[in-house]
Structure 1
Amino acid sequence: MNRMSDLPKGGSFLFGETRFQDVFTPEDFTLEHKMLYRTAMGFVTDRVLAVMEELEEKRDGLNKQLIQEAGELGLNGLDIPEEYDGLDLDKISTTIVAECIGKGGSFAMTQGGHTGIGSMPIVMFGTHEQKKKYLPGIVSGEKAGAYALTEPGAGSDAMSAKTRADLSPDGKYYLLNGTKQFITNSAFADLFIVYAKIAGDKYTAFIVDADSEGLSLGPEEKKMGIKGSSTRQVILDNVKVPVENILFEIGRGHIVAFNILNLGRYKLAANALGASKHALELAAAYANERKQFGTPIANFGLIKEKLAKMAIKTYVMESMLYRTGGLLDGILHGLDTSGENGGQVAAKGIEEYALECSMNKIFATEAQGYVVDEGVQIHGGYGYCSEYSIERLYRDARIYRIFEGTNEINRTIIPITLLRRADKGDLPLQEAVQKLKEYIAAGGAAREDEAGLIQAAKDMFLLTMAAGLQKYGKNLQKEQEIVGKLADLAIQAFAMESAWLRTQKAVANEGETKAKLKSWMTSAFIYGTIGYLESIAKEILSALAEGQELESLLKDLQAVTQCTLGNTIALHRDIAAAVSEAGKYAV
């Protein structure tokens, strides 16, 4: 069992070095992990993709049937304790299944809504009686779960919800009134996690049975993508909810909502990874088969560059994701989650890495958007036609940047949370800034390898954060454009380091020859990212200062960004050759 004191604090990667021995990578999968991967991928390939056209046409009962089939394979109960018929596996196992399900298009939303946000509130915050009543059905798929948070006028600002809950005169139930918007699985859900304000002000979570009198549904939304998932309004008209169906505590529904979103964001990143691998596989196969001017288009330089960058982004998001999964497992293994309140203890532990969950969500969903877009481009005109799967992947991907808190909201979370933790003494921000000042005063030094460039990325974050605090103090959080760019610096530093640590671990364990593709992708990503980060840093500093002050800050920036870059064009060619030979993502 890990001791809490041995684990890195969330966000601490920015303020120190991490040993590659301390990160989890996909190369560390156990035999059980690999078997689970094969099971989940087999289910998606043989059952979900095989009926994708029928799913997209919303064949009645098909989603519920597939959820039940997933239940028969044990794919619904990974996060649920054995006491309630679940498997209670580690978070790496959860990540593996979420990644595989991500290949399944709209079904990823269906199954994720069922096993994630639709049931985890009960797992983490429910009473024993609530868990016993609802969780076995979630595991088997006999009961489908859904999450009803968003309202027509309350999206990112969930706390502005208008749905009310008023206690009945006899004190036995609450009457819920309001409308919930964009609710996944609503057409066939058996239970909803609903958020409402008791007496108009005490924000509270409830478990609401779908067959409750007064609960009705709006028509299916006509969506751009994920057409196979059900998305409707849930209308609550004096719906009676027994008082024993209050989830957690009155007035503390926000605790439930925000903690569930941490894990939801992480799992969504895993879905994005699975979809990206599928898109790359489709693109590589097409590029190998499609001939123009007498040769496969995979032989053309600009197509090689696209395949390489698609593979690089996929490798990086995979490295980030499983590194974070290892952190989540590490903290959970150090907690006693055996009691009735064990779920709350676990939720608090996961909250430690809320920053990393948001970083994964942003990076993975935006990388996914890039990968599917380039996948369409490689297909040319055919990529715009619905008979080619890449067209659906392109449409499906767009919602990922909106789900589970928009990427804009997640960006604001990152620097603000870092500042709050630094103020509490949990992160050594001031010490790191002082150390950077001393480095700059000494003239800096050219960064000549990947490790140096990663440190340069961290230094850019520290330099610009310090400048922001110097000008705005705690009011910096109100400057959203600057906060968003600070978040990008932090995210890319985490991405660069995650890929590099994974590669270093592979080199140590497998040797340089076997790990050469990983090394190529890591170097290409770091070389290709550092200049982008420097431009972001310049933009931030130019918004914070002018004249001699700006000139001084830009000189400081130059001191930390002196570097030597490698030949990314040659690296892209080598990576593309490996992708074309494999016909898919392979490392």
Structure 2
Amino acid sequence: MTTTLTKDILRGGQFLVKETKCEDIFTLEDLSEEQRMMRDSTKEFVDRELWAHWERFENKDYGYTEACMKKAGELGLLGVAVPEEYGGLGMGFVSTMLVCDYISGATGSFSTAFGAHTGIGTMPITLYGTEEQKKKYVPRLATGEWFGAYCLTEPGAGSDANSGKTKAVLSKDGKYYNISGQKMWISNAGFCDMFIVFARIGDDKYITGFIVENDPENGITFGEEEKKLGIHSSSTRQVFFTDTKVPVENMLSERGNGFKIAMNALNIGRIKLAAACLEAQRRVIGEGIKYANERIQFKTPIINFGAIKAKIADMATNCYVDEAASYRAAKNIEDRIAIRESEGNSRQEAELKGVEEYAIECSILKVAVSEDVQHCTDEGIQIFGGMGFSADAPMEKAWRDARIARIYEGTNEINRMLAVGMLIKKAMKGHVDLLGPATKVGEELLGIPSLEPLDFSELFAEEKDLLARLKKVFLMVAGAAVQKFGPDLEEHQQLLLAASDILIKIYMAESALLRTEKNAKRFGEEKQATQIAMTRLYLYKAVDTIIQKGKEAIVSFTEGDEQRMMLMGLKRFTKYTNQPNVAALRVQIADHVAAANGYNFD
């Protein structure tokens, strides 16, 4: 059995109650030579075909988006995750994340087209299709001969995906279904060859998936291209089906299994979306640093001003943390897939269950990274000043393109509530022991805190102690909330949102700490000095967020002695022994990236 299968891999959500060793996580510094070559070739394609022509994407050149997609297909970039027997490269989950990451930095238009095609356009067939369906469609999709689209959203069915009204009616001879209905916000609709369409058969409780070829003579019509805030050259149209005939053999999976297909596609889409927001941050940071190094005001480059250093440091720190968390989760998924295959699961079943296992982490990443890329582009505009607001500079288009990331693959509000909701469901099924640790936290609140000084001589000793206490904040809040509201907790959305923000900050901060600790051990602390500074800066800011959200949650559902006790617990669990010099950390980080003239931690 390989090392990958024997190391200690936590189940999804267990990061909250079990310790993770830094040696057991994957970081960008662990990329194989093959993966580095793939990353570099992807960046070369992006620089040559996308970044150099970003104005074309802004000017709604849909034809150029399609042409670039074909070139990506010729290079094999559309088939990285597709098994070799169906024309793809058959690479692991980390490699698919890597391509999704680096291909997405130049323009949101291409990133959306790529993600819609490789993810929700192709993946449902590879994971749920019959052998005949896979042989017929997947090789064409993997090479870019055909392009795919995904028809789920309707005017009355957005976040409530299963409420769609599109109907599928079986013909009298039983040979095909007639599909009728309206779909909206369909990416790639203007140039796709095939749709994954979700429709309801009769009065079924759940929708059903179908593979529908794009034939205008078969009752398929389109609305005009949508006028959007960003992603201008991503083809986005309404699609209308009027008695569209679909052979019965084109049903995807089983009848009524469409909602499951849609939800699993979204799980994968969420972590891929996080990856797609990474290179966008790196490039914005790079452009911001170059401008700040060159822009002279008051006879000095603006990079020398403390206000600019603070922005640059926060942007670089968030990106570093986002990388750490995204690739940590990606490798967990890849390892879980390998374990399931070794236990006899088919590749399809292993992939489905492997991703589903880490659905909590996928939602966490979707929220955290999509909000960080928006903050990054906003600060990028601010660094450029008036030029940042101009369409002649790349910052304003980056800001507009980033905005959609907080909406698709499930809004961030939905994903926040999902993260906590799924964690509680896992606890109820016995997959994550929350009750035991939460009970211990409750007992600790009634006890006298230890006054014995701790040994903080080793790297991150204090930070690890603090992280362990931050986890107690979540357990304290979530445990009390579950005890009080039980199954009705989902109705208390503001409480869930606050608890989710605590959960998100814990996972992201811990991921950064583990990445830095691992690399400090193998490369030396001196070579990781800036990464150590970023880790400490992020944790400091995370504590502030957890204090705010913890207090907001506690006062929203408690009162009297219980409230006072929990607020005292919040203060105890978030207390620093030695608070870091935040200004000095930011100067250290900013000076490092300014000297490198760009982000250089990947």
1:342 Cα deviation (Å)? 3.0
Q: Equivalent residue for 1:527?
A: 540
**Does residue 540 of structure 1 match 2:553?**
yes
Partners of 1:3 and 1:378 in 2: how far apart? 46
Does the 8 Å contact 1:467/1:541 carry over to 2?
A: no
Secondary structure in structure 2 of the residue aligned to 1:241: strand
1:58 is aligned to 60
Offset, 1:528: 2.0
Q: Contact (CA 8 Å) 2:62, 2:233: kept in 1 or not?
A: no
- Aligned ranges for residues 169-248 of structure 1 at < 5 Å? 169-201=172-204, 202-211=206-215, 213-248=218-253
Deviation at 1:130, TM superposition (A): 0.7
Task: Provide the rounded CA distance (Å) in 1 between the counterparts of 2:136 and 2:82.
Answer: 13
Instruction: Note the alpha carbon deviations across 1:77-120, whole angstroms, 9 max, x for none.
Output: 11111001111101111111111122131100011111111110
Name the structure 2 match of 1:517.
Answer: 530
Q: Which moved more, 1:152-161 or 1:329-338?
A: 329-338
Matched to 2:158, the amino acid is G
Partner deviation per Cα, 1:36-83 (whole Å, 9 max, x = no partner): 000111111101122222233233532222111111211111111100
After superposition, residues 169-568 of structure 1 pair within 5 angstroms as 169-201=172-204, 202-211=206-215, 213-336=218-341, 342-440=347-445, 441-443=447-449, 449-564=462-577, 565-568=579-582
Pick closer, same or farther for the CA change 1:373–1:240 going to 2, 3 Å.
Answer: same
Measured in 2, the distance between the counterparts of 1:153 and 1:437 equals: 44
Paired residues of 1:467 and 1:544 also in contact (CA < 8 A): no
Whole-angstrom CA distance in 1 between matches of 2:488 and 2:375: 34
Moved more, 482-491 or 558-567: 558-567
Match in the other structure for 1:111: 114
CA contact (8 A) 2:502 2:545 kept: no
2:595 to 558, 565, 581: 581
Distance 1:108 1:56, change over 3 A: same
Q: Distance in 2 between matches of 1:233 and 1:529?
A: 41
- Identity, in percent, stands at 42
Q: Could you tell me how far apart the structure 1 residues matched to 2:472 and 2:442 are?
A: 10
The separation in 1 between residues aligned to 2:466 and 2:222, in whole angstroms, is 53
Q: Do the aligned partners of residues 121 and 191 (structure 1) sit closer, same or farther apart at CA in structure 2, a change above 3 Å counting?
A: same
CA displacement 1:113-160 (0-9 Å, x = unmatched): 111111100010011111111111111111001111100111000110
Aligned equivalents of 2:164 and 2:450: distance in 1? 51
1:468-503 CA-partner distances (Å, limit 9, x unpaired)? 123212211210000111111111000010000000
2:526 counterpart SS class: coil
- Write the distance in 2 (CA, Å) between the matches of 1:539 and 1:146: 41
User: 3-state SS of the aligned residue for 1:348?
Assistant: helix
Question: How many correspondences in the alignment?
Answer: 587
Which whole-Å CA distance do the structure 2 matches of 1:88 and 1:38 have between them?
19
Q: Helix, strand or coil: the match of 1:147?
A: strand
Deviation at 1:338, TM superposition (A): 11
Which consecutive residues of structure 1, in runs of 5 or more, have no partner in the other structure?
none
How many Å apart are 1:200 and its aligned residue? Answer: 4.2
Equivalent position SS for 1:514: helix
> Deviations for 1:303-345, whole angstroms, at most 9, x for unmatched residues?
0000000000000101000101110111011122999953233
Counterparts of 1:552 and 1:488 in 2: how far apart (Å)?
21
Change over 3 Å in CA distance of 1:339–1:557 after alignment to 2: closer
Q: CA RMSD in A?
A: 1.7
Tell me if structure 1 keeps the 8 A contact 2:58–2:397.
no
Supply the distance in 1 between the matched residues of 2:52 and 2:343 (Cα, whole angstroms).
Answer: 40
**Which stretch of structure 1 is more off in the superposition, 469-478 or 566-575?**
469-478
Alignment-derived partner of residue 78 in structure 1: 80
Per the alignment, in what secondary structure is the counterpart of residue 189 of structure 1? coil
| Alpha carbons of structure 1 residues 340 and 332: separation in structure 2 relative to 1, 3 Å | closer
* Residue identity in the other structure for 1:130: Q
Is this contact kept in 1: 2:62–2:234, CA < 8 A? Answer: no
SS at match of 1:487: helix
- Check 1:384–1:575 CA distance in 2 against 1; reply closer, same or farther (3 A cut): same
Aligned 8 A contact 2:390 2:396 in 1: yes
3-state SS, counterpart of residue 312 of structure 1? helix
Q: What is the CA–CA distance in structure 1 between the aligned matches of 2:297 and 2:394, rounded to whole Å?
A: 21
SS at match of 2:186: strand
Moved more, 383-392 or 551-560: 551-560
Per-residue CA distance 1:262-315 (angstroms, 9 max, x = gap): 110111101111111111111111111111000000000000000000000000
Which residues of structure 2 form unaligned runs of 5+?
A: 457-461
**Cα drift, residue 459 of structure 1:** 1.0
Q: Distance in 2 between matches of 1:56 and 1:539?
A: 41
Residues 167 and 199 in structure 2, CA contact (< 8 A), matched pair in contact too = yes
Which position in structure 2 is the counterpart of 1:99? Answer: 101
- In structure 1, how many angstroms separate the alpha carbons of the residues matched to 2:296 and 2:48? 30
Distance (Å, rounded) in 2 between the aligned partners of 1:33 and 1:5: 21
In 2, Cα distance between equivalents of 1:546 and 1:477? 20
Task: Look up the SS of the partner of 1:178 in the other structure.
Answer: strand
Question: CA deviation digits over 1:340-365, x for unaligned, max 9?
Answer: 95323311221000001111100000
Paired with 1:434 and 1:260, the residues of 2 have a C-alpha distance of 36
> 1:365–1:401: 8 Å Cα contact kept in structure 2?
yes
Contact persistence 2:337–2:353 (CA under 8 A): no
Please state whether the residue corresponding to 1:182 is helix, strand or coil: strand
Distance 1:180 1:339, change over 3 A: farther
Measured after TM superposition, the shift of residue 404 of structure 1 is 0.3
Q: Does 1:138 align with 2:141?
A: yes
Q: Read off the aligned partner of 1:195 and give its amino acid letter.
A: F
Amino acid at match of 2:47: T
| Contact 1:162/1:200, CA 8 A, preserved across alignment | no
1:181-214 deviation line (CA, Å, top 9, x unaligned):
0000000000010100012435100011011510
CA distance in 2, matches of 1:444, 1:162: 60
Matched-pair contact (CA < 8 Å) for 1:102–1:271: yes
Letter in 1 for 2:582: T
Which amino acid in the other structure matches residue 372 of structure 2? A
In structure 1, distance between residues paired with 2:514 and 2:263: 30
SS in 1 for 2:277: helix
Q: Is the CA contact (8 Å cut-off) linking 1:117 and 1:260 kept in structure 2? A: yes
Report the residue type matching 2:65 in the other structure.
N
Q: Distance in 2 between matches of 1:560 and 1:507?
A: 27
Q: Deviations over 1:211-257 (max 9, x none)?
A: 15101110000000000100000100110001011001001111111
Contact 1:528 1:568 in 2 (8 A): no
Contact 1:64 1:144 in 2 (8 A): no
Normalising by structure 2, we get a TM-score of 0.95
